[in-house]
Structure 1
Amino acid sequence: MVKHSKAKKALKGLGARYGIKLRKQYSKVHFTLKEKRTCPECGSQNFGRDAVGIWSCKKCSYKVAGTAYDIKL
């Protein structure tokens, strides 16, 4: 019997296309972009990306500029 791991490192939908190096880079960026973040002002979990480099909180409307896929506060 095969044991399945709980943490997935690969994305579905890409298949065997584009090469392993690009798939790994894409999955790293994707998981960095989609992880949960806390708002530096109110502390809620509703802090996310609005556009490239613009991050905002849906609860307190706090906006900050950062990098494209991650925020460094």
Structure 2
Amino acid sequence: MVKQKTLKGLGARYGIKHRKLYSKIHFQLKEKRTCPECGSQQFNRDAVGIWSCKKCSFKVAGTAYDVKL
């Protein structure tokens, strides 16, 4: 049996479908990514669709919650 990650703080509100979708997107957004340019782990989202590396200042446009290169 695989244990699923759950997101605390929503309680019993909004319905199970919306809570599962929100937690899936939240964990996808917060996962660690490597920079395609320098390989460091400091590759984060600046705004919706804008991803940048804090180490080498590499910027790329991607999707809202994940970067597809």
Name the TM-score class by shorter chain.
over 0.9
The alignment of Structure 1 onto Structure 2 pairs a total of residues equal to 67
What TM-score do the two structures reach when normalised by structure 2? 0.94
Aligned-partner residue type, residue 69 of structure 1: Y
Moved over 2 A (4+): none
2-structure distance, mates of 1:70, 1:27 = 14
What TM-score do the two structures reach when normalised by structure 1? 0.89
2-structure distance, mates of 1:8, 1:58 = 31
Within 5 Å, give how 1:1-73 maps onto structure 2. Answer: 9-73=5-69
- The one-character-per-residue Cα deviations of 1:33-72 (angstroms, maximum 9, x if unpaired) are 0000000000000000000000000000000000000001
Identity level (%): 84
RMSD of equivalent CA atoms? 1.0
Structure 1 portions without partners, runs of 5+ = 1-6
